[in-house]
């Protein structure tokens, strides 16, 4: 009888331990097949502009102006933005100012706009590009949804590193001039330090390729090339405004 009771207690203890472990794993960041952890991308949100607005060096109305963001792109489509941080009213907690990532050279510029000038929503998805490993990862929360090999910029036209975001996306197959971009393309807020074959005078893109044998190499003018099957997977899953973290 004593042996049975001891075995029963051990079984209960083991079951309790397994439940605790399962709860811990459910709350912990999930790892990819290669042991990678969800990249930490701290942003407030992404969205669109409600009006054209000056970008200021500090969160106050009389601060120096560092740029101008228009409500619409030259093709009359909405201008998307990525908010990196926020200043809130002390009493109410309402947003007063947002610090935005500002597309253009040099990469990494930021500036402040009034909260009333932007319409934001939370960000859950993000893309990680590891230039050295020649790989990409696509995450939603703590879930790794897709990963694969990429081609990156060659010496002299290296892929820039930093935090960027998706500003537009399109199917290049509808225009024969862009057939080299594979089955789908994402425009980003990053710019090649020197040049790029991307429309817009140096904008870095994430796109497919008709030459998958070049994946894993440094061969582009700064853009990140993905396998067509990977870019097809991302096509409807990556919303505009998605953060893109490019690391060395």
- Return the CATH number at 148: 2.40.440.10
- What pLDDT is recorded for position 219? 94
Please report the pLDDT score of residue 166 as a whole number: 97
Measured in degrees and rounded to the nearest 5, phi and psi for residue 48 equal: -125, 165
In a domain, 190, yes or no: yes
Residues 81, 110, single domain; the answer is: yes
Q: Is 236 a catalytic residue?
A: no
Instruction: Based on the residue annotation, tell me whether 213 is a catalytic residue of this protein.
Output: no
- Is residue 108 situated within a structural domain? yes
Instruction: Among 76, 94, 121, give the residue marking a domain's end.
Output: 121
Same-domain status, 135 and 216? yes
What pLDDT is stored for residue 63 in this prediction?
Answer: 97
Task: Answer whether residue 7 is part of any domain.
Answer: no
| Residues 54 and 78 reside in one and the same domain | yes
How many structural domains compose the chain?
2
Residue 177: inside a domain: yes
CATH of the domain at 102: 2.30.30.40
Residues of 41-57 as b/e, b for ≥16 C-beta within 10 angstroms? Answer: bebbbbbbbeeebbbbe
Domain extent at residue 100: 45-121
Q: Which helix (H) or strand (E) holds 95?
A: strand 95-101
Q: What is the DSSP pairing of strand 203-207 with strand 224-226?
A: parallel
Q: What is the pLDDT of residue 221?
A: 87
Q: Assess contact for 97 and 88: CB atoms under 8 A.
A: no
| Residue-by-residue pLDDT tens, the chain, 248 positions | 444 444 444 443 434 333 333 333 333 334 443 456 777 888 999 999 999 999 999 999 999 999 999 999 988 999 999 999 999 999 999 999 999 999 988 999 999 999 999 999 999 999 999 999 999 999 999 999 999 999 999 998 899 999 999 999 999 888 777 778 899 999 999 998 776 556 666 889 999 999 999 999 999 989 999 999 999 999 999 999 999 999 99
Same-domain pairing of 108 and 163? no
Query: How far from the centroid of its chain's Cα atoms is residue 94's Cα?
Result: 26
Confidence (pLDDT) at 224? 96
Q: How far apart are CA 149 and CA 136, in angstroms?
A: 6
pLDDT tens, residue by residue, 167-176: 999 998 887 7
Q: Does residue 159 lie within any of the structural domains?
A: yes
- The pLDDT score that the predictor gives to residue 164 is 97
What is the DSSP track for 194-238? S--SSTTTSEEEEE--S-GGGTTSEEESS-EEE-HHHHHHHHTTS
| pLDDT at residue 17 in the model | 39
The 10 Å CB-count burial string (b at 16+, else e) for 157-196 is: bbbbbebbbbbbbbebeeeeebeebbbbbbbbbbbbbeeb
Question: Is there a single domain that holds both residue 87 and residue 115?
Answer: yes
Asked if 47 and 55 touch (Cβ cutoff 8 Å), the reply is no
For residue 37, give Cα distances in angstroms to 17, 23, 125, 224: 24, 18, 14, 22
């Amino acid at each position: 009888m004593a042996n049975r009771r001891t075995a029963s207690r051990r079984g209960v203890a083991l079951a309790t331990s397994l439940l605790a472990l399962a709860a811990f794993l459910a709350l912990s960041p999930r790892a990819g097949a290669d042991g990678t952890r969800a990249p930490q991308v701290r942003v407030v949100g992404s969205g669109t502009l409600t009006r054209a607005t000056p970008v200021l060096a500090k969160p106050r109305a009389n601060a120096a102006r560092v740029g101008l963001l228009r409500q619409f792109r030259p093709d009359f489509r909405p201008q998307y933005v990525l908010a990196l941080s926020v200043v809130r009213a002390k009493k109410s907690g309402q947003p007063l100012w947002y610090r935005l990532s500002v597309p253009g050279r040099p990469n990494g510029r930021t500036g402040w706009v009034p909260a009333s000038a932007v319409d934001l929503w939370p960000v859950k998805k993000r893309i990680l590009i590891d230039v050295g490993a020649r790989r990409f990862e696509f995450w939603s929360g703590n879930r790794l949804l897709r990963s694969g090999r990429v081609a990156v910029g060659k010496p002299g036209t290296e892929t820039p590193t930093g935090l960027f975001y998706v500003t537009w996306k399109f199917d290049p197959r509808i225009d024969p001039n862009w057939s080299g971009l594979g089955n789908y393309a994402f425009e980003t807020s990053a710019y090649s330090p020197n040049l790029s074959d991307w429309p817009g005078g140096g904008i870095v893109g994430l796109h497919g390729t008709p030459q998958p044998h070049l994946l894993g190499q440094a061969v582009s003018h700064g853009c990140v090339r993905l396998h067509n099957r990977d870019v097809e997977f991302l096509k409807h899953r990556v919303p505009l405004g998605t953060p893109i973290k490019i690391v060395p």
